[in-house]
Amino acid sequence: MALSDHLRELRARIIRSVAVLVVAFCVALFFYDQLLELVMRPYNHAQESLGDKVDTTAYIKGATGPLLLQMKLCGVAAVVASSPYWLFQIWGFVMPGLHPHEKKWTRIFISIAGPLFLIGVATGYYVLPKGLDVLIGFTPANLKSLVEFGEYFSFFTRMLLVFGIAFEIPLFVILLNLAGVLPGRALAKYRPWIILGTMVFAAVATPSTDPFSMLMLAIPMLILFGVAEVIARAVDRARGRRRESTQQWGDDELSPL
């Protein structure tokens, strides 16, 4: 197509995505109480775990705080809920420019990346109460902990996003191996450094500073790295067999067939 046709197609896909996003936002407004309960559940669990040790209360700042809270919470929920549609629109715009083998690998990547991201988000949601328990637990005995909801919600989304993205890193390692950039033997050679780097990444990436959150991020990542190394070595062996079966002929030599 001409450039103008591509731009018109892009405009149409953006308009459709925005329309679905607006509809999802309006639907989220009706489930605001359930969404708020879902977001506050980790804090409530941490509050129950602390008991009488720390007096902690969540609050909303400012006269416009409640309205902004509702808009922000429903907006994030709408983006997440409508993500399959607008991601499909992106895929539909890019797909015609891909070769058949590129389409195949992209479908495999999407089918694996989605569940991995969701598993990471679920792990972060499970870890979050422990992290809040440790962080709020530093409050001195004679002081009260006031948790501003805007900061808590940013912490909440950042924590889940970090866990979701971290679970995708081993998948990118496999893709680099399939592209011939990262051989499996290199993963084995630098395995101690990978373990150390994963621990450092988990300690820096997790918004909370407790060791439990760090380990809950690092251990699954190390397991996924182990799986990635096994797959990379299998791919390298398969490539080696194919190479050995054809290396008896030179690149410029005419085969007997």
Check: CB of residue 56 under 8 Å from CB of residue 136. Answer: yes
- CB-based contacts of 136: which residues, under 8 Å, 6+ apart? 46, 47, 50, 54, 56, 145, 147
Check: CB of residue 200 under 8 Å from CB of residue 252. Answer: no
Q: Which residue has the higher pLDDT, 95 or 49?
A: 49
**What secondary structure letter does DSSP report for 256?**
-
Q: State the residue for tokens 């422990």.
A: 130
Q: Hey, CA dihedral for 246, 248, 252, 254, is it positive or negative? A: negative
Beta bridge partners of 57: 146
Check: CB of residue 227 under 8 Å from CB of residue 171. Answer: no
pLDDT for res 25: 92
- 21-25, 51-55, 85-89, 167-171: range with highest mean pLDDT: 21-25
Among the listed residues 60, 54, 59, the one whose alpha carbon sits nearest the alpha carbon of residue 143: 54
Give the count of alpha carbons within 13 A of 246, CB side only: 10
CB atoms inside a 10 Å sphere around CB 15: 11
Q: What is the pLDDT of residues 142-189, one digit of tens each?
A: 888 888 888 888 888 888 888 888 888 887 777 777 767 777 777 778
Structure tokens at 207: 């918004």
CB atoms inside a 10 Å sphere around CB 64: 10
Among the listed residues 178, 71, 167, the one whose alpha carbon sits nearest the alpha carbon of residue 127: 167
User: For the chain, what is the largest distance between any 2 Cα atoms, rounded to a whole number of angstroms?
Assistant: 88
pTM, 2 dp: 0.71
- For every residue of 237-249, DSSP letters joined together read HHHHHHHHHHTTS
pLDDT for res 102: 64
| Element of type H or E holding 151 | helix 149-166
Q: 23 pLDDT band (50/70/90 cuts)?
A: very high
Structure tokens at 160: 């889940």
CB atoms inside a 10 Å sphere around CB 38: 14
